[in-house]
Structure 1
Amino acid sequence: MSESSELVGYQFVDRNSNFSDLTGPYYMKQEAGKEVSLALKLEKKHMNNLGRAHGGILMTLADNALGDAVEALFDEPVSLVTVSMNTEFVGAAMEGDWVVSEARVLKREGRLLFVDCVLKVGERVVLHASAVMAKLKNS
């Protein structure tokens, strides 16, 4: 049984990123071959000096989930950059908590995509993020 057995349907995912190797490990839930959610089990390395999840790790998870939601729109690989991202910290997450993303694309205008995400521990929202992402021309 995988480490993600506490979350039904989530499997470890190698994001092929040195930064993600430092901030992970990440777990993904897929349906019909497309990602529907990204999750992270908080470890000691993710905590701030107050013993709560560092805001930077929550923002990193949200940024990845937002980008993944956009990538799921396309049948071919795409390159994306985050143009802007706004976050509101709604609650605390603690070591051992599973933080799960719910991201959705709200609108597409040319190369720009407007995306929204919440991060939850159980049913409790801990972060809300909205972003504008750009699909690079060479992709």
Structure 2
Amino acid sequence: MTQQQIAPQGIPVGYPYGVPFVDHLGALMIEEGNGSSMLILELRPEHRNTHGAAHGGVVMTLLDIAMARAVRGQTRHQGDADHGVVTIEMKSSFCQPGLGDRLFARGTAVHRTTSMCFAEAELHDENGVLVARSSGTFKVLRPRPATAPKPAK
């Protein structure tokens, strides 16, 4: 984990999953499990567009991460191994500009089959204003088998 902070509720948060792009953004996981997740992002100047609002790419990234983490949390809750997931498709609707200092993304896993999961997410600013909504389809990957170390030469 490259970053550790304290959420307003006093909960330690971070993004300990080793995704360099998420670390670069500074998105932090507040909660995850049982088919839901919540992220927070402190908006920095480089996250904003020319109008001072959160850039659409930042908004869509937060929605995508929130849905993916909700899906992964659901698979672990169901007793499965921690499968990876890949976004197959994603639809996003922008409702209001994200003008505050913080954005909160909540993801929910809606329905899972053996190899796919459908999810939704909402992004709000610190005042509770709905910034964007999203739905997506995720492929659930099989865990990779452990490989034996190669003998030294």
Same fold (TM over 0.5): yes
- 1:30 maps to which residue? 31
Give a deviation string over 1:64-117, Cα, whole Å, max 9, x none: 0000000001222211100000000011112x5211112111111221111011
- The structural deviation recorded for 1:33 is 9.4
Is the 8 Å Cα contact of residues 47 and 53 (structure 1) preserved in structure 2? Answer: yes
User: What amino acid is the match of 2:59?
Assistant: L
Unmatched runs of 5 consecutive residues or more in structure 2: 145-153
- The structural deviation recorded for 1:60 is 0.5
Is the 8 Å Cα contact of residues 104 and 123 (structure 2) preserved in structure 1? Answer: yes
Q: Give the direction of change, closer, same or farther, for the CA distance of 1:33–1:86 in structure 2 (3 Å limit).
A: closer
Q: How far apart in 1 are the matches of 2:36 and 2:12?
A: 10
Check if 1:98 corresponds to 2:102.
Answer: yes
Of 78, 81, 97 in structure 1, the residue corresponding to residue 86 of structure 2 is 81
Unmatched runs of 5 consecutive residues or more in structure 1: none
- 2:121 maps to which residue? 117
Is the 8 Å Cα contact of residues 10 and 28 (structure 1) preserved in structure 2? Answer: no
Q: How far apart in 1 are the matches of 2:50 and 2:118?
A: 33
- The structural deviation recorded for 1:10 is 5.2
Is the 8 Å Cα contact of residues 33 and 70 (structure 2) preserved in structure 1? Answer: no
CA RMSD, aligned part only? 2.4
TM-score, normalization by structure 1 = 0.84
- The structural deviation recorded for 1:14 is 3.5
Q: Give the direction of change, closer, same or farther, for the CA distance of 1:132–1:64 in structure 2 (3 Å limit).
A: same
Q: How far apart in 1 are the matches of 2:17 and 2:27?
A: 8
Identity of aligned residues (%): 24
Structure holding more strand per residue: 1
* Corresponding pairs, count: 136
User: What amino acid is the match of 2:103?
Assistant: V
Q: How far apart in 2 are the matches of 1:114 and 1:34?
A: 11
Check if 1:69 corresponds to 2:62.
Answer: no
Is the 8 Å Cα contact of residues 102 and 118 (structure 1) preserved in structure 2? Answer: yes
Q: How far apart in 2 are the matches of 1:91 and 1:10?
A: 29
- The structural deviation recorded for 1:13 is 2.3
The structure with the largest alpha-carbon Rg is 2
Is the 8 Å Cα contact of residues 113 and 134 (structure 1) preserved in structure 2? Answer: yes
Is the 8 Å Cα contact of residues 14 and 26 (structure 1) preserved in structure 2? Answer: no
Q: Give the direction of change, closer, same or farther, for the CA distance of 1:30–1:5 in structure 2 (3 Å limit).
A: closer
